[in-house]
Amino acid sequence: MAGVAIGFVALLALLSGVPIAFVILLASFLLVAIDPFVNFGAVPAIFVQGVDSFILLSIPLFVLVGVIMNAGGISERLLNLAVVLVGHLKAGIAHVNIVASMIFSGMSGTTTSDVAGLGRIEIPMMVKEGFRPETAAVVTAVSATIGPIIPPSVPFILYGALTSTSIGKLFLGGVVPGVLLGLWLMAVVAWLAHRGHIVSTRYTRERANLRLVLRAIGQSFWALLTPFLLIGGMTTGWFTATEAAGVAVVYAIVVVRYVYRSVTWRELFRMFCESAEYVGVIMVMVAAASVFGWLTIQGGAAEALLTWLTGARLEPMHLLILLNVILLVMGMFVEATSMIILLSPILVPIIRSTGIDPVHFGVVFTLNMMIATITPPVGICGLIASQIAGVTIQRFSVEVIPYVAAMIAFLFVILFLPPLVTFLPNLMFG
């Protein structure tokens, strides 16, 4: 009964607009207050230990890379390359939106940097081409979900750090699903355009010749080199995921400051401040979730869930299906990053006990959470894109339905075909 009351209080706080990190801390302190066997003095230590991780150091660095690439004019170069490659297709700028996100995802690792950075360019461009604002907002938000699937990926880093899963394997495991997701979303756009559900006043431009393609690649060459540098360095053992993030920051600064000469040192300082503000929110959430996770383990919640699931004698695939259905429903009401932080330490021991590959589950789990970023009422990508486009969340919610259905279908394809995830990690790491 006490647990139900705490859950009710936490839900009221969440609905009242209290930030999710403070809701988690509120629930944690209430749990401590009602449990006489928990030492209150241990809570601050657990809070600090939650962020005392070498792997988590890569999160602010990768976020900083995304901010530098966005503000340093890289986004425009990558967008121009996408226009040259697919701008001639029917509903061309919608395809450009998706391809640009696929390319940019190899540098940022977060959905918010994609939708907030590229979205400010892509949404006005789509509206200018004759697309309805809600269509522009939806395509931008949906394409941003590719970002954390194609490495580098902040959600993968969080999942790996919290569950002791190889970050390198997770990064490689996301390559094939990320590329396939981009192609799948382009197919959805093509189908909707063919059926007349996506309408623009004109279908962009003529097919680019080889000279224009090569020129666009040359203009964005140094940016395109980033993901190859990171993945190549990690798979060959030159550096770890955290060290790769540091290398990426130095590389990004050199490119925008000395190669493209698009930013000043003062502007770089502002980028550091902007990144620190965003990362501070994530780290407080990680620390708060560490306290909550520790309390649930001390209280036996994780053990009780494990006992219930093992007692149900579900086959591994049936267990995966059940968990993903639950996660899809929860994702409509809980912010995606919070769910990764809260649930990963609880779910992965259950996954391992049934023989499911934690790398496969990590990619499926992250993809599930990316769907949560576009499902109302709390889908962060949907909220940001709607604000940029100037449309209500109600109009966005209606427009996003076919894309959500398509992404759920894609999720279960990845779920039922583990080799799509595990092939590259097994090939590179054995």
Burial 135-151 (b: 16+ CB within 10 A, else e): bbbbbbbbbbbbbbbbb
Run of H or E including 427: helix 419-429
Per-residue model confidence (pLDDT) at position 126: 84
Per-residue model confidence (pLDDT) at position 351: 86
CA distance 191 to 78: 25
Per-residue model confidence (pLDDT) at position 388: 81
For residue 136, how far is the Cα from the chain centroid? 20
Tell me, what DSSP letter sits at residue 209? Answer: P
Per-residue model confidence (pLDDT) at position 91: 77
Per-residue model confidence (pLDDT) at position 174: 92
Per-residue model confidence (pLDDT) at position 300: 62
On whether the CB atoms of residues 176 and 63 are closer than 8 A, the answer is: no
Beta strands in 236-322 (DSSP E): none
Dump pLDDT digits (tens) for 404-426. Answer: 999 999 999 999 999 999 999 88
For residue 221, the one-letter residue type is F
On whether the CB atoms of residues 234 and 240 are closer than 8 A, the answer is: yes
Per-residue model confidence (pLDDT) at position 235: 67
CA distance 96 to 83: 5
Residues 6+ away with beta carbon under 8 Å from 323: 347
Per-residue model confidence (pLDDT) at position 410: 97
In angstroms, the Cα distances linking 274 to 60, 279, 384 are 11, 9, 17
Phi-psi region of 164 (alpha: psi -120 to 50; beta: other; left: phi over 0): left
CA distance 345 to 323: 14
User: Alpha helices, DSSP H only, in 50-196?
Assistant: 58-71, 74-86, 92-104, 111-117, 119-128, 133-144, 154-163, 167-173, 175-194
**Would you state the structure tokens that stand for residue 333, as one six-digit string?**
């009401």
Per-residue model confidence (pLDDT) at position 298: 63
Ordered mean pLDDT values, 10 residues apiece, the chain (430 residues): 66 70 74 67 70 69 77 76 80 84 73 73 82 90 89 85 86 92 94 80 63 83 78 72 79 86 86 79 71 66 64 78 86 75 82 88 93 80 82 87 95 94 85
Per-residue model confidence (pLDDT) at position 39: 66
CA distance 135 to 129: 12
